[in-house]
Amino acid sequence: MTFLQPWVLAGLPLVVLPLIIHLINQRRFQTVPWAAMRFLLAARALSRGYSRLRHWLIMALRMLAVAAVILAVGRPLSRGWLALAAGGRPDSAIVILDRSPSMQAVAAAGGASKLDTGRRQLAAALATLRAGRVMLLSDPGRGPEEVAAPDALVELATAGPLAAAADVPALVQSAYEYIREQAAGTTEIWICSDQRANDWQPDDGGWTGIRDALAKVPQQVRVQLLAYPVPAGGNLAIRVTNVRLETLGRDRRLVVSLVVSRQEDGERMTVPVTFETGGIATAVEVEIVGREAVLKSHTIPLERSAETKGFGTVSIPADANPADNRFFFVYDEPPPRRSLVVAEEPASAQVLELAASIAPDRGAARVDVVSRGDLAAAPWETAAAVLWQGPLPEGRDAELVQQFLDRGGQAVFFPSDRGAGGRFAGCSWDDWTEHSRPVVAESWRTDQDLLANTLAGSALPLGDVEVRRSCGLTGDFVPLATLPGGAPLVARSSRDERVTFVATTPTARDSALAAEGIVLYAVVQRAIDRGLVPLATARQVDAGPTAATLAAASGGAWTRLVGDAGSPSTESGLHAGVYASGERLVAVNRPAVEDTSPPVADERIDSLFRGLSFTRITSSAGDTTSLVQEIWRAFLIAMLVALVAEGLLSLPRSAAADRGARLPRRLEAAA
């Protein structure tokens, strides 16, 4: 229990005042000559059960009344039903808000969302606690910002909802840094969250360090979690998985694929899905069974006069979480598939050119084979990927490649026949190894990156690719495929994820990459696809750091075309919507994991703060009760009840006297 006037508690020893008065009263006895001693002796011999109990009850009630008065004057605070943790008025409070889309779930139609409820409850609690300094922490990049008054939390734009997931570990880390550097005295960290796994990342190794660091700071730190873990019931989420513009002669149409999902299995139901683009709305019904309904390649014809570039939204009717009922998309004609081949061996150049020149959608693809000497004149600005076979770039060449990578291009390096030499992206080629007989990849990552399984779920036939000669690779890399003995066959640089190394060449002398061309083709085309993304004038990005970086890279030139109104410009890339940046269109939407991420178990959360002063307060959306409220009235009522009870218990004495006065007449009548 917390008190606003804790110094009053110094008067708690006064609780024993009734006892002292009783003892003094015992000493201030009167002496009376008495005749009827036999009855006094008999009374003392009788059982004292009820009388003794009453005596002590009266004493206890008097002490309780005194204690209640003292506690009431101390202005006690109630911290909710489950959080009667010890604590006092904090010198500073850091509010960590989980502003992710899942926090916009409401308990009832028209009710307050979890985020709004949390902000309101926090504002009321901090106002009651009279925290010395209130800091809001909603973006780890910006650090805590001071809030003028707790009530401002309700209205503050930077405390409003986002389309991006919350990075709770980073936020707590940021809070720790603030405490270490600036906070003095008692600090409370209030975390308002719905405990979603993607926000909390409980398996993140950084939690241990944060916990240990918080435990070691000299200031007293208390962590309070205001949790809203109950998911919104019956909530549906919609997400566009693919949008492409198809042109058939003079006709154009949009081909949209989407997913309607829910977190729990439910009854079969039909969901009306509304498409809106170019001011024209069309609707289609999607039947959902189980957790997911997929609508593939839904076509929306476009007017002939319409521009090739545009945007639209897909939406479903309002439900428990309005944040996942709408999805923005943009479309444009895809950029040309252009790639560069830089190879010292003509055979390799030929194979790589062939692999890059065949577009998967039968569209046009252009490959420029560039010699090392003409690199400066190569069309780097329009290329999506560079396929490099030969010594790693150095000097001016390295600068050109690095600029290309920084713009968003992809690079796939194949080794030079000369072997060791040069260093790029933290890696360098080592010596060649001639295998006595062909070897194949022992294992490779099938879940992501360039060697991932196909959309149909089948693995790439890398096991069929025989390698006769492989070049060693040293440096910081993540192996994507390994040969027997652990040597990497395909690896990605740890320093730059856009750089991939293949430890052999596609020539027949070194490997069967060309003969078993599917793997090489998939690797090359996937790299080109990745490189095309930054080149596209219409781009879908997840709200979060990536989008924020894009917005920052554009120099703050993002103009909102449609989306969340009133979002501050400092949070570009974190709010859903369609933005224009020059000639480019960017659709920002919530990350896919937001739709499916389950809540983290309470015990798991508790374990993250083990060893710290941690309190959980579980609430629900729309809950209007205060987290912290003054309860001195309850103590005054307790005092009154104690006094009334004490009076009632003391009353029988006079009643007994009356009874004694009546005794003679009654007995005389009997005699």
Which residue's CB is nearer to another protein, number 57 or number 452? 57
Please report how close the Cβ of residue 648 comes to another protein at its closest, in angstroms: 14
Given 108, 248, 455, 670, the residue binding another protein (CB under 8 A): 670
CB 263 within 8 A of CB 597: no
Given 7, 13, 44, 268, the residue binding another protein (CB under 8 A): 44
Q: Binding segment for another protein among 46-54, 101-109, 318-326, 358-366 (CB under 8 A)?
A: 46-54
**Measured between alpha carbons, how far is 337 from 366 in angstroms, rounded to an integer?**
6
CB atoms near residue 670 (< 10 Å): 6
Q: Binding segment for another protein among 44-52, 68-76, 177-185, 446-454 (CB under 8 A)?
A: 44-52
Per DSSP, the three-state class of 47 is coil
CB atoms near residue 166 (< 10 Å): 29
Given 7, 13, 28, 455, the residue binding another protein (CB under 8 A): 28
* Phi and psi, residue 461, nearest 5°: -80, 55
Given 7, 13, 36, 458, the residue binding another protein (CB under 8 A): 36
- Using the CB atoms, write b or e for 408-417: b if 16+ within 10 Å: bbbbbbbbbb
Please report how close the Cβ of residue 620 comes to another protein at its closest, in angstroms: 52
**Measured between alpha carbons, how far is 294 from 260 in angstroms, rounded to an integer?**
6
* Phi and psi, residue 608, nearest 5°: -65, -25
Given 6, 48, 242, 557, the residue binding another protein (CB under 8 A): 48
CB contact set of 417 (below 8 Å; sequence gap of 6+): 344, 345, 432, 505
**Measured between alpha carbons, how far is 283 from 621 in angstroms, rounded to an integer?**
31
CB contact set of 65 (below 8 Å; sequence gap of 6+): 639, 642, 643, 646
Which residue's CB is nearer to another protein, number 48 or number 396? 48
Which residue's CB is nearer to another protein, number 130 or number 659? 659
Looking only at residues 359 through 418 of this chain, which bind another protein when binding is defined by CB under 8 A? none
Which residue's CB is nearer to another protein, number 65 or number 588? 65
* Tokens, residue 278: 């170019």
Which residue's CB is nearer to another protein, number 43 or number 184? 43
Which residue's CB is nearer to another protein, number 603 or number 658? 658
Residue 157 is given by DSSP the state: G
Per DSSP, the three-state class of 149 is coil
Q: Which amino acid, residue 275?
A: F
Given 13, 25, 486, 569, the residue binding another protein (CB under 8 A): 25
Please report how close the Cβ of residue 25 comes to another protein at its closest, in angstroms: 6
**Measured between alpha carbons, how far is 57 from 642 in angstroms, rounded to an integer?**
10
Place of tokens 């066959």: 489
Please report how close the Cβ of residue 647 comes to another protein at its closest, in angstroms: 13
Q: Does 32 bind another protein (CB under 8 A)?
A: yes
DSSP symbols for 576-609: -EEEEETTEEEEEE--GGGGTPPBPPHHHHHHHT
Please report how close the Cβ of residue 59 comes to another protein at its closest, in angstroms: 10
Closest CA to 594 of 158, 190, 202, 238: 238
E strands within 303-402?
A: 310-315, 326-331, 337-343, 365-369, 385-389
Please report how close the Cβ of residue 68 comes to another protein at its closest, in angstroms: 23
Please report how close the Cβ of residue 67 comes to another protein at its closest, in angstroms: 22
Q: Binding segment for another protein among 31-39, 236-244, 296-304, 572-580 (CB under 8 A)?
A: 31-39
**Measured between alpha carbons, how far is 163 from 573 in angstroms, rounded to an integer?**
9
Q: Which amino acid, residue 296?
A: K
Which residue's CB is nearer to another protein, number 448 or number 654? 654
**Measured between alpha carbons, how far is 374 from 377 in angstroms, rounded to an integer?**
6
| Site size for another protein (CB under 8 A) | 41
Q: Binding segment for another protein among 34-42, 234-242, 254-262, 436-444 (CB under 8 A)?
A: 34-42
Given 4, 5, 19, 38, the residue binding another protein (CB under 8 A): 38
Site string for another protein, 49-78 (x = CB under 8 A): -xxx--x--x--------------------
Per DSSP, the three-state class of 178 is helix
**Rama region for 426: left / alpha / beta (φ>0; ψ in -120 to 50; rest):** left
Which residue's CB is nearer to another protein, number 25 or number 448? 25
Which residue's CB is nearer to another protein, number 22 or number 298? 22
Please report how close the Cβ of residue 663 comes to another protein at its closest, in angstroms: 6
DSSP symbols for 194-216: --BHHHH-TT-THHHHHHHHHHH
Looking only at residues 624 through 663 of this chain, which bind another protein when binding is defined by CB under 8 A? 650, 652-654, 656-657, 659-661, 663
Which residue's CB is nearer to another protein, number 31 or number 305? 31
Rg of the chain on CA atoms, in Å: 37
Please report how close the Cβ of residue 60 comes to another protein at its closest, in angstroms: 14
Place of tokens 């880390």: 173
Which residue's CB is nearer to another protein, number 52 or number 296? 52
Which residue's CB is nearer to another protein, number 570 or number 650? 650
Please report how close the Cβ of residue 643 comes to another protein at its closest, in angstroms: 17
Please report how close the Cβ of residue 28 comes to another protein at its closest, in angstroms: 7
**Measured between alpha carbons, how far is 201 from 98 in angstroms, rounded to an integer?**
13
Given 13, 34, 109, 373, the residue binding another protein (CB under 8 A): 34
Which residue's CB is nearer to another protein, number 110 or number 660? 660
Site string for another protein, 479-508 (x = CB under 8 A): ------------------------------
* Tokens, residue 99: 């502003």
Residue 448 is given by DSSP the state: S
List contacts with another protein (CB under 8 A): 25-26, 28-44, 46, 48, 50-52, 55, 58, 650, 652-654, 656-657, 659-661, 663-664, 667-668, 670-671
